[in-house]
Structure 1
Amino acid sequence: MKFTNAKRQLWLATTACAGLVLSCAGAQAQSANTTELNLPPVAAISQDLAAKGIYLNANYFGEFAGNLSGGEHQGSDYADQVVAGADIDLQKLVGWQGAALHIEFTNRDGRSQGADVINNSVATQQIYGGGQTYNLTTLTLEQKLLNGMIDITAGRTELDQLTLNDPIYCHFQSNAICGQPDIMGKIINASFWPVAVWGGRVVVSPVQDWYVKAGIADNDPVDSASPHHGFDWGTGHSKGAEIPLELDYQTSFADDAYPRRYDVGVVFDRTPYTYDQFMPVSKTGYGRTMLYVQAKQMVYRPDMNSQRGLTVFGAAVFGPDSNQVADYNISAGAVYQGPMASRPADSAGFLISDTHYRGSFINELYNYRVTTLGGSQRPASSLMMMEADYDAYLTPWLDVMPNVQYIVHPDGLGSRAYPKSNLPDAFVVGLQFNVNIGGLIGLPSEN
C-alpha cells in the first residue's frame, strides 16, 4: 500500500499512540516518580508567596490532530497553549475574610486541523481559538458570605465559565463538548475562554448540595479582537448581555458513595446576531434563548476505598427560536477513572455528540450551493463527532492522551470555502499532552 508523506506521518503517530496505550495497559504499578527540576530560588520564593496566600500555577498543553481519511483532504496540524496565573487568598494576605483574587494569562499558537484540513466548524483540538495570541483571560474577585452559603464572583471572565460547564467535558481533545457543548455558539452569542469580557455570577446554596446560580456576561465584539489581548476594558462597544440562570444539584465523595450532578438552566441572549459566521448568506436579528439539562453520575466503583470508577454523563441543549443556526445538541459519554488498580491516576473516555442544524439554515445553505456553486446535493442536517481516548499519567506533572476521533457529516463551515458537495466522514488520530509546569518546578498547591 502506497502512502503520501502526510499519511505516513499519521500512521507513525497512530502507532506511537497505540504503543503508549499498550505500555500503560501492561504496567504493573502507577509511576511514583515525583522528579522535579532542582530550582531552589524558585521553590523558596513560591513557598514564601504561598505562606502569604499567593499560589502560582502554570501549564503547557499541546495537541496534534491528523485525519487518515475523509474531510476536505488529508493532513495534520498542531496547536499549543501556555496558561499561567495565580489564586490569591485575600483573607490570608490582607485579612479580607472570604475573599480571593483569580488571575490567569493564556498564550495560544498553532493551527486548527478541523478547520484547515477537514473544513469543519468544530475543532479537533480544543485548545485552538481566541485569536492564537496572548490574552488576559481571567481577573476576578470572589467573595464568600455566610460560611460559603453565598459565593459572588465578578470581573473579567466569559460566558462559558458561568453556565453549562463541567470539568468532565474537557477530558476530551475534541472541542465538541470541552468547556460546554459547541452548539452554544450556534444558538446564542457567547464569549468563550480564553477571551474575556465583563461578567459575574452569584451562587446561593440554601441547603447542602443544592445551588441556585445567576449571572451576566457582556457582549463586546471589540474584546474578541485579538489586538486588544483582553486589556480593552471599555464598555462603549457593548452590544448587550447574556443572562444565565441555573438550578444545580451536586454531591461529592464527602457525602455520596456515587457522586452525581444534575442541573437545568436557561440563557437569555439580549444582543443582535448575524449568520455571517456560519454561512455565506447574511442574516441578522435580535435576541435568542437557550435551554439545557445536564447530568453526571458515577455508576460503578470496583474499590470503595478509592475514587476509581465509571462515571457517565450527558447534556441536551435546545434552541427554541426560529432564528437560530441549530435547534438542538445531544452529547453523552463516559469516563473510567483508574481502569487498572495499578494505575489509579489514568483514565479512559468515550464521547458522542450530535448537533442538529435548523431546517431553515440548511435551506439557506442548499440554496447557496445550487445557485452560486452549481452543486445539487442537499447539506446534511446533523454533525456527529465521536472520540475514544486513554489519558496516561506518566509522572505527577506529565500526562499524555492518545485519542481517535470520527466525524460524521463534516459541515463544511470551517476556514475553507463552502464545498460544492457534502464532505466524506473523517477519521482522526490525535495526541494531547499536558505539562504541569508548577508541579515540575515545585510550586506549592492551594489544596
Structure 2
Amino acid sequence: MKIKNKFFLRSPSFFAMSLVAVSCASALPAAHAAEPFSYDSAWMLGDWNGTRSQLKDEGVDFQVNYTMESAANLAGGYRSSTTMRYSDQWAFGVDLDLEKLLGWNDTEFQMTITDRNGRNLSDDAVSRNGTLSSVQEVYGRGQTWRLTQFWLRKHFFDNLVDVKAGRVTVGEDFDSIDSKFQNLAFGGGQAGNWRGDHWYNWPVSQWGGRVAVNITPDVFFQVGFYNQTPYNYDRGDGFRFEVSQTEGNLVPAEVVWHPTFGPDNLKGNYRLGGYYSSVRDQVYGSWRNGNTDTAHAYGGYVLAQQQLFSQPGGSDRGLTLTAQAVMNDHKTAKIDNYQSLTLVWKGLADARPEDEIGIGASRIHVNSSYSTMQRRENRSNGAYYDSNPAWIPIQHGSEYDYEVYYNIHATNWLQVRPNLQYVVAPGAENGVKNALVGGISANLSF
C-alpha cells in the first residue's frame, strides 16, 4: 500500500506550527509560574500578576481552553484525493465556589460556553456518508456556539447525597472517562455516541440533572433525568431554552466503583449503567413502504478502567487499561453493540514523565434490522445500483477503528498529539477501502 504524502506537502502550515509550538515551549527559559508562557504555569497567559490565583482562592475559577484536531486521508477511504480537514473547539467557563462567595455550604455553580468550527474528514473523504465513528472527535453536534453548562451542584447530609441540576450534558456524569484519543470511539460517553438521538454528550446540553448517593467511600449510585426537545441539537439553537416542544425524557442510571489496589494505590474506574427513553422511535424491522411501528429506546453499558502498575516519580505514571462496551435495543438502534480496548502508558521514559503513548481498537456493529430497512427502501424506490440517485448505501456488519498516539506534554498549558488511525470498513459499507489517517491534535489552556 503506497502512502500519499499530500497531508505533509500541502498542509505544511499546521504541521510546522505544531512543531514550532512544541520546540519553543520546550526551550522556554525557567520562569516563575505566574509569568505568561512559563512552563510551570497552568495557563499560557500566566497568573495575571497573581489575580487569577487570588480569585480562585476566593471561589472564582476561570477557564479558557482551545482544542484543535487535524486529520488527513493518507491512503484508502472513499475519496483519497481529499487531503486534510481541520476542526476546533473553544470553551469559555467559570466555576464558582458558592460556599466561599455566598456562604452556601457545599455548593458549586458552573457555566461554560463553547464554539465549534471546521470540517470533518470522516464525512468528506474516509466514507461515502461518514464513518460510524469520527476521526476528529471534537467535530460534530453542529458547528455553532452553545451554552454547554449552566448548572448548580450541592451536597447534602455530610456528602451522602450529591445533586446537580440546570443545563447539563449527560456524558459529563454518566459513562465518563478522560481520554486523549482523537478518534471518537475511544473517549468517554460511548453510550451517547451510539445512541446520539437521545443521549447528548458535550457540547449539547439540555434541562435536567442527576442525583448521586454515596454508598461507601468508593461506591456510589446515580440516576439522571434529562428533557429532550428538537432544539437541543439544532444548529444555531445553542441558547434556546424552551421546553414546550418536549418529545420525552432520557433516564440513565449507573453504579460507579472507584477502588485503589495494592501499596501503590492503583486507581480504578468501574461503571455499570443503563438508560431508557420515553421518546418513541421507529422499529426498523417493521418498515413497509415508509411506515413503521414505534417503540421506546433502551440500552446498557459497562466501563472498566484500571491502572495496572505505577512507576517511580509519580502515582499517575504507569500503564492503564480501559475496556468499554455498549448494548442497545435491537428494535430502534442503528448501532446495536460496540466494544473497545485501549492501553495508555504515561511517563514511559524518565526524561519525559508527563508524556504518554496510547493505543486503541474498537468494533462498532450496525443493527441487522437497520440494514434490512435500507434494502427494503432501495427496492421500494426501484434503486438496485449505486448509480441510481435514489440508491441508499447499505450499512451492514461492523466498522473497526484503530489508533496510536503520542502525547507531548510541551508545557503545563500546551499538549500536542500526533496520531495514526486505521479505519476498517469505513461506515460499514461494502466497496469502501480501508483508510489510513494521519492526525495532529493539541490542547491549549489560556
Pick the aligned partner of 1:235 from 222, 243, 246. 243
Are positions 1:271 and 2:279 aligned together? yes
1:423 alignment counterpart: 432
CA–CA distance in 2 between the matches of 1:430 and 1:64?
5
CA–CA distance in 1 between the matches of 2:361 and 2:18?
21
How far does residue 304 in structure 1 lie from its aligned partner after superposition?
Answer: 7.4
Within 5 A, what are the aligned runs for 1:105-116?
105-116=113-124
Pick the aligned partner of 1:96 from 97, 100, 104. 104
1:415 alignment counterpart: none
Could you list the runs of 5+ residues in structure 2 that have no partner in the other structure? 39-44
**Matched residue type, 2:182:** Q
Are positions 1:79 and 2:112 aligned together? no
Change (3 A) 1:402 1:284: farther
Task: Report the count of equivalent residues.
Answer: 420
Cα contact 2:259–2:269 (8 A) shared by 1: yes
2:64 alignment counterpart: 58
CA–CA distance in 2 between the matches of 1:336 and 1:31?
28
**Matched residue type, 2:409:** Y
Cα contact 1:189–1:273 (8 A) shared by 2: no
Per-residue CA shift, 1:388-430, capped at 9, x if unaligned? Answer: 0000011111110000001111117xxxxxx7x5311110000
Give SS of 1:411's match.
helix
CA–CA distance in 2 between the matches of 1:177 and 1:183?
13
Are positions 1:259 and 2:267 aligned together? yes
Give SS of 1:192's match.
coil
Taking only aligned residues, the RMSD between alpha carbons, in angstroms, comes to: 3.5
Change (3 A) 1:401 1:3: closer
Pick the aligned partner of 1:207 from 211, 216, 220. 216
Cα contact 1:17–1:402 (8 A) shared by 2: no
CA–CA distance in 2 between the matches of 1:335 and 1:281?
46
How far does residue 302 in structure 1 lie from its aligned partner after superposition?
Answer: 3.0
Give SS of 1:310's match.
strand
1:318 alignment counterpart: 327
1:396 alignment counterpart: 412
Pick the aligned partner of 2:254 from 236, 239, 246. 246
* TM-score (structure 2 length as normaliser): 0.84
Identity %: 26
Cα contact 1:102–1:140 (8 A) shared by 2: yes
CA–CA distance in 2 between the matches of 1:49 and 1:311?
35
Could you list the runs of 5+ residues in structure 1 that have no partner in the other structure? 413-418, 438-447
* TM-score (structure 1 length as normaliser): 0.84
Within 5 A, what are the aligned runs for 1:124-139?
124-139=135-150
Between 318-327 and 52-61, the greater mean CA deviation after superposition = 318-327
CA–CA distance in 1 between the matches of 2:69 and 2:46?
31
**Matched residue type, 1:95:** G
1:411 alignment counterpart: 427
Give SS of 1:399's match.
strand
Cα contact 2:162–2:213 (8 A) shared by 1: yes
Cα contact 2:120–2:139 (8 A) shared by 1: yes
Cα contact 1:302–1:308 (8 A) shared by 2: yes
Pick the aligned partner of 2:181 from 172, 177, 184. 172
**Matched residue type, 1:150:** V
Cα contact 1:275–1:325 (8 A) shared by 2: no
Cα contact 1:366–1:379 (8 A) shared by 2: no
2:41 alignment counterpart: none
Cα contact 1:187–1:290 (8 A) shared by 2: no
**Matched residue type, 2:168:** T
How far does residue 436 in structure 1 lie from its aligned partner after superposition?
Answer: 1.0
**Matched residue type, 1:409:** A
Per-residue CA shift, 1:333-366, capped at 9, x if unaligned? Answer: 1111111112111111111110111111122334
Cα contact 1:188–1:269 (8 A) shared by 2: no
How far does residue 199 in structure 1 lie from its aligned partner after superposition?
Answer: 1.2
How far does residue 173 in structure 1 lie from its aligned partner after superposition?
Answer: 0.5
Change (3 A) 1:252 1:30: farther
Cα contact 1:81–1:107 (8 A) shared by 2: yes
CA–CA distance in 2 between the matches of 1:317 and 1:366?
26
Give SS of 1:307's match.
strand
How far does residue 52 in structure 1 lie from its aligned partner after superposition?
Answer: 2.5
Per-residue CA shift, 1:180-209, capped at 9, x if unaligned? Answer: 227743486222211110111111112110
1:445 alignment counterpart: none
Cα contact 1:403–1:431 (8 A) shared by 2: yes
Per-residue CA shift, 1:8-55, capped at 9, x if unaligned? Answer: 5379699979989x99xxx9x999775625979944543443243111
How far does residue 147 in structure 1 lie from its aligned partner after superposition?
Answer: 2.7
Between 301-310 and 423-432, the greater mean CA deviation after superposition = 301-310
